[in-house]
A = this chain, B = another copy of it.
Amino acid sequence: MKRRELLRGAGLAAVATGLAACGAQPGATPAATASDQRFEWKMVTSWPTNFPGLGTGAAKLAAMITAASGGRLTVKVYGAGELVPAFEVFDAVGRGTAEMGHSAAYYWKGKTAAAPFFCAVPFGLNAQEMNGWLYEGGGLALWRELYARFGLVPFPAGNTGVQLAGWFRKPVASLADIKGLKMRIPGLGGEVMSRVGATPVNLPGAEIFSSLQTGAIDAAEWVGPYNDLAFGLHRAAKYCYYPGWQEPGPTLECMVNQAAWESLPQDLKDIVDACCRAINDAMLAEFTARNQQALDVLVREHGVELRQLPDDLMLALRRASDKVLEEIAAGDPFARKVLESMRAFQAQARSWHAVSEEAYYASRG
């Protein structure tokens, strides 16, 4: 496995240049050539090219790495379907078809049960807490341990903040109205929805609007006002519900092929790491600013009905979420370890945020 990846890594467009200009042999000694090696990487993504927030975030990440490295590591972005389909990013980067990918870990729950914990857990951590857990609470180390099995090195690389609960063609007045609904909702949220009587389906973003408009599905959650407006979901379903219990702060991921990663000199590794952290910050800022503008447009210009999910449904969803998480942990020892780490963090985060963020929101209101 390791050797196969190293061989792949050797083909990853690492071309020694620069020193050639002053007469030295490219690749003569690793120490001397490290800073002059050039790398041309492909980044495959699960988003339409330049799709607001997600696609533009991936593009910004690529541009940031290219610029900060002075062009020594150029990253070219491919939208979903351009090089590989949206849901093949994980495999494509694992096998080295592309050196880098931008996606969301919960798409890989079929590959490994613990994957969704590194993106979004129903009633779990919000964006600020995800960052705390990943960077400072052991989360990222667990994520790296898991993805190493697949020849991948993951980095947190974006967050949408709390999402919307979704768009529904008919109003949802109580838990009973959920029964039998066919809803686009991926990850653990979909699992939970199935326990309260809905039929979850997963579709790439680009297919949601037409499915919802034709009635092939009855409801869909996508991201939040910024992205949902861009897809025109308000023209396909009238009722918009909050809060996004299913994705309270989904972390987006940048994944790097392990052999490609190991082929980088240390300063380029540090640049990739810094730029992923930077985009993690920048993307949430973009969603925060654009979501609120888009919400304004949806409510004031398009007359969207913004409603809170009914209490009995929320209670059922919370109970079902606990069961789903417990079942995943029961079936996979690594998932158990991740869940326990996250739960311990969440218990403390709740106590602190009750007297900080929550109490502050209330005091301002």
Contacts and interface: CB of A to CB of B under 8 A. Distances in A.
A245 B361 CA distance: 10
A355 B266 contact: no
Query: Most chain-B Cβ atoms within 10 A of its Cβ — which of A23, A224, A284, A360?
Result: A360
Interface stretch (A5-13, A100-108, A188-196, A344-352): A344-352
A206 to B, nearest CB: 24
Given A67-B266, A363-B243, A352 B291 contact: yes
A162 B360 CA distance: 7
B291 A356 contact: yes
Given A355-B243, A360-B126, A136 B286 contact: yes
Nearest to A265: B70
A interface bracket (residues with beta carbon within 8 Å of B): 35 or more
B19 A242 contact: no
A351 B162 contact: no
Given A274-B271, A278-B277, A225 B352 contact: yes
Interface string A298-314: 00000000101000001
Interface string A110-130: 000000000000010011110
A91 interface: no
A364 B136 contact: no
Given A274-B271, A348-B293, A356-B291, A70 B361 contact: no
- Tallying the copies of this chain within the complex gives 2
A240 B152 CA distance: 46
A205 to B, nearest CB: 19
A270 B64 contact: yes
Given A161-B356, A243-B356, A314 B351 contact: no
Given A22-B19, A356-B161, A133 B289 contact: yes
A14 B116 CA distance: 48
A24 interface: yes
Most buried by B among A22, A281, A296: A281
Given A136-B285, A292-B352, A358-B361, A267 B162 contact: no
Given A70-B267, A361-B361, 19 more contacts: A126-B360, A128-B128, A132-B284, A135-B282, A136-B285, A162-B357, A162-B359, A163-B356, A164-B356, A243-B360, A243-B363, A245-B360, A274-B275, A277-B277, A277-B278, A278-B281, A291-B356, A295-B352, A353-B361
15 contacts: A22-B24, A67-B266, A67-B267, A126-B360, A136-B288, A164-B356, A242-B355, A243-B363, A275-B278, A291-B352, A291-B356, A292-B348, A350-B365, A353-B361, A357-B361
* Among all A-B residue pairs, the 3 with the closest Cβ atoms: A22-B22, A132-B288, A70-B267
